[in-house]
Amino acid sequence: MSTRRTFLKSVGLAAVPLARPGRLLADAEPKGRPNILFIMSDDHAALATSCYGSRINTTPHIDRLAREGMRFTNCLCTNSLCAPSRAVILTGRYSHLNGITDNRRRFDGSQQTFPKLLQKAGYETAIVGKWHLKSPPTGFDYWNVLPGQGRYRNPVMLEMGEKKTHQGYATDIITDEAIRWLKRRKGGRPFCLLCHHKAVHGPVDHFDPKHAKLYEDARLPEPPTLHDDYRTRSKAAAAPGHFFRLEAMGRHLRAQPPKGLAGKALRSWMYQEFFKRYLRLVASLDENIGRLLDHLDAAGLAANTVVVYTSDQGFFLGEHGWFNKMWIYEESLRMPLLVRYPKEIKAGSVNADMVLNLDFAPTLLDFAGVPRPAEMQGRSFLSLLRGHAPEDWRGSMYYHYYGHYGVAEHYGVRTRRHKLIHFPSIGAWKLFDLEKDPRELHNVYGDPAYASVAEQLKAELARLRKQFGDTDTAGAPTTAHPDFAVVRDGQVKASKLGYTLTGGRDGLALRKTPKPFTTRAVLHCKLRSLGKGGRQNGFISFGPDPAPEHLVHCGVYIKAGQYVIIHGGPGGSEDERVTKDATFDASKTFDVTVAVDLVQRSITLTVDGVALKAPLRKPWQAIGYFGYAAHNAATDFSKLEAKGE
């Protein structure tokens, strides 16, 4: 009979009891109160730094941190997307608990964060650069951040809420402002400065002009999986949409490919053009990290300052034919992490233990001698930095991406050797043996040789989900209603017309069809907005399942004066919309009919006799759910009539 210890060895977990999340280590009592400089970039893949073995560029200043501190080779994120990772880092809690499951939500600034705890403990705290969490920063004595994604050229920044336009290049300006704060801080107290760069997030064409010729005549070596055909993977990997596929990324570049390029040749051309631009952004980032390190030296601060460099997640550098992130694949999952503190960290050391962005907050608190709050789910890795690996260090980690940007919701468990992934909306599983298949090309789920490993990993996945309090719901909270199978990110109440849906960013109320419509369907209702201003809209929604990325929404953007068909929900990109401008009274009741032909793959939206047509972009086999949607709006709907076969 297989024992738990035998299983842990077989799948790559530590063969010891797993610790409760976030437990402070007995030997982690700090010997002083160091300053903290936390430098974070955006979308910087570890393999785009020379200290991690880059084949395509060099990063001498980032490499300096590796030479003078510790480099982690197994730092992983819990949700590979910008805002969610930032919220995890601040709170030390998984996305479903801190409220930021995707880039569309607003961070609740009243919740506990490590800067607040450091501030309370006497630290002078500041953040400069990218914030990307919609609500104003809290827990900082000083903040000066980009609104939203911000821009590279002549950026606007919000300094303590006041808008100021800066002339120049954002990566330089963020560094300037960080150094300016270091020079003028009050002193007498230790500091914690978060320097968050916009770089190297797109648009990749917005590099510093001084780097315009960099890599111009070079031929970047292609990754071995650039032309991956996804043969053993699910449909979710084979068709991730225009947010990923290199050959579909023309909108990201000013340059257009030569006429006639197609297939592998087009993908190779796009790879060269995109990543040369990307590496120019990296060059500016590296130079400015060097400026920060030089300032610490000149100011006599280097010896007593913990310097951390990381990115908010990984990034595909053409692997699998992709750019971007989101997936649990290694390129997206892995984060660069370098930590320097001359008093305690051995120069040039390397650590292969599994650490998470969930652990950053407890670790920085541990450095400062501040107890970790019970609600933080991460664990301090200060002991690892000191060169001592606890026997009970984690041997597995849990990941959950909530579905957006054309990537289906998925969650999974990764151990030192294996990775098991579940796509709940399509019922698909993937299992990779990372030792035999480090590039994740061969899905061995269903292979009899891996049957016992798959079942044991499923048990480990269930254990982690229970430990961290996660559920099967996708992204926004889902609630029950007697008339609807799914109510997500909203509330439904009875009204004179029928139902009022008060929706958030992805407000949905869906019924399950008594029998799936496999050929055609006609859906009809009346709707009227109960709101005022810009948030006036209403949609009939339908799809094969209730996953947001699989739904189509047909209806009215009332204030914008548009009839609209959207694939993937109201938050989808402009590329996923078909619209028709119209003139109408915003307070009227609209008569809305949607006809769907699954054979011809067509959609016809008719609003008050005016028709709008669009292709059904995905080859659905059936419509299994239908209902209403309201995007940050309160909308009244009549009972939805549904006919089909």
- Which tens digit of pLDDT belongs to each residue from 494-552? 999 999 998 876 788 999 998 999 999 999 999 999 977 657 899 999 999 887 768 89
How far is Cα 91 from Cα 97, in angstroms, rounded to an integer? 9
Residue with the larger pLDDT of the pair 209 and 427: 209
State the maximum Cα–Cα separation within the chain, in Å, rounded to a whole number: 76
* Domain-embedded: residue 275: no
One domain, residues 377 and 482: no
Range of the domain at 571: 478-644
The pLDDT confidence band at residue 472, using thresholds 50, 70 and 90, is: low
Q: Structural domain tally of the chain?
A: 2
Which has more confidence, 173 or 202? 173
8 A C-beta contact, residue 475 and residue 548: yes
Q: Are residues 370 and 514 in the same domain?
A: no
Main-chain dihedrals φ then ψ at residue 531, nearest 5 degrees: -100, 180
Q: How confident is the model at residue 32 (pLDDT cuts 50, 70, 90)?
A: low
For residue 433, the model assigns a pLDDT of 97
What's the mean pLDDT in 484-498?
A: 89
- CATH number for the domain harbouring residue 559: 2.60.120.560
The residue from 320, 353, 386 where one domain ends is: 386
Q: 354, 386, 418 — which closes off a domain?
A: 386
How far is the C-alpha of 505 from the C-alpha of 498, rounded, in Å? 22
* pLDDT (tens digit per residue) in 390-427: 999 999 999 999 887 767 789 999 999 999 999 887 77
Radius of gyration for the chain, computed over Cα atoms and rounded to the nearest angstrom: 25
The predicted structure's pLDDT at residue 25: 31
User: Can you tell me the mean pLDDT for 222-251?
Assistant: 68
Task: Report, as an integer, the average pLDDT of 318-344.
Answer: 93
Q: Which of the four pLDDT bands, split at 50, 70 and 90, describes residue 139?
A: very high
Answer yes or no: is 439 within a domain.
Answer: no
Question: Where does the pLDDT of residue 462 fall: very low under 50, low under 70, confident under 90, or very high at 90 and above?
Answer: very high
HSE on the CB side for 241, CA within 13 Å? Answer: 22
For residue 18, pLDDT over 70 is answered with no
Measure the N-to-C terminal CA separation of the chain; round to a whole number of Å.
52
pLDDT for 34-57, tens place per residue?
999 999 999 999 999 999 999 999
Judge whether residue 620 has pLDDT over 80: yes
Q: Taking a C-beta distance cutoff of 8 angstroms, is the pair 562, 547 a contact? A: no
Residue 450 lies inside a defined structural domain of this protein: no
Whether residue 321 is found in the same domain as residue 186: yes
Sheet holding 396-401, edge to edge: 396-401, 410-415, 418-423, 428-433
pLDDT of residue 114: 98
pLDDT recorded at residue 22: 34
Q: With bands split at pLDDT 50, 70 and 90, how would you rate the model's confidence at 17? A: very low
272 pLDDT higher than 70: yes
So what's the pLDDT on residue 572? 43
User: Domain ends where: 355, 386, 417?
Assistant: 386
Which CB contacts under 8 angstroms, 24+ apart, belong to 161-165? 161/136
* 555: three-class secondary structure by DSSP: strand
d(CA 56, CA 214): 12
**Reduced to 3 states, what is the DSSP secondary structure of residue 108?**
coil
pLDDT in tens, 249-260: 666 677 788 888
Q: Is the pLDDT of residue 12 over 60?
A: no
Same domain, 517 and 379: no
Q: Of 200, 456, 149, 435, give the one whose Cα is nearest residue 325.
A: 200
In this prediction, residue 85 carries a pLDDT of 96
Q: Three-state secondary structure along 3-38?
A: CHHHHHHHHCCCCCCCCCCCCCCCCCCCCCCCEEEE
Amino acid at 54: S
CB atoms within 10 A of CB 623: 23
- 496 and 378 in a single domain? The answer is no
**583 in a structural domain:** yes
User: Is a pLDDT exceeding 80 seen at residue 24?
Assistant: no
Q: For residue 423, what pLDDT is reported?
A: 85
Q: Report pLDDT for 533.
A: 60
Per-residue pLDDT band for 247 (boundaries 50, 70, 90) equals low
The answer on pLDDT for 197 being more than 50 is yes
Residue 309 lies in a domain: yes
Check pLDDT > 50 for residue 170: yes
Q: Give the position of tokens 């996708």.
A: 474
Provide the pLDDT for residue 20. 35
Mean predicted lDDT score pLDDT of the chain: 88
Residue 369: inside a domain, yes or no? yes
Q: Is it the case that residue 199 has pLDDT exceeding 70?
A: yes
Q: Are 364 and 118 in contact (CB under 8 A)?
A: yes
Residue 438 lies in a domain: no
Mean pLDDT of 54-68: 97
Same domain, yes or no, for 51 and 174? Answer: yes
* pLDDT at residue 16, as a whole number: 38
Task: Give the pLDDT score at 299.
Answer: 96
Predicted TM-score (pTM) of the model is 0.74
**According to the model, what pLDDT value does residue 109 have?**
92
Residue percentage of the chain with pLDDT more than 90: 69
Which domain CATH number covers 299? 3.40.720.10
pLDDT for 631 equals: 83
Q: What is the pLDDT of residue 574?
A: 40
pLDDT at position 2 over 60: no
User: Which of the four pLDDT bands, split at 50, 70 and 90, describes residue 475?
Assistant: very low
What's the rounded Cα separation, in Å, for the pair 33 and 26? 18
For the residues 282-308, what does the mean pLDDT come to?
98
- C-alpha to C-alpha distances, 164 to 152, 154, 158, 159, 175, nearest whole angstrom: 14, 10, 6, 7, 16
In this structure, are residues 563 and 605 in contact, taking their beta carbons and an 8 Å threshold? yes
Task: Specify if 276 maps to a domain.
Answer: no
Q: Which residue has the higher pLDDT, 28 or 58?
A: 58
Residues 6+ apart with CB under 8 A from 361: 89, 90, 91, 92, 113, 114, 372, 376, 378
Do residues 177 and 57 both lie within one domain?
A: yes
pLDDT at res. 91: 97
pLDDT surpassing 60 at residue 575: no
3-class SS string, 166-190: CCCEHHHHHHHHHHHHHHHCCCCCC
Whole-Å CA distances, 214 to 74, 277, 278, 280, 410: 30, 9, 11, 7, 38
Shared domain check, 504 and 382:
no
Give the model's pLDDT for residue 7: 47
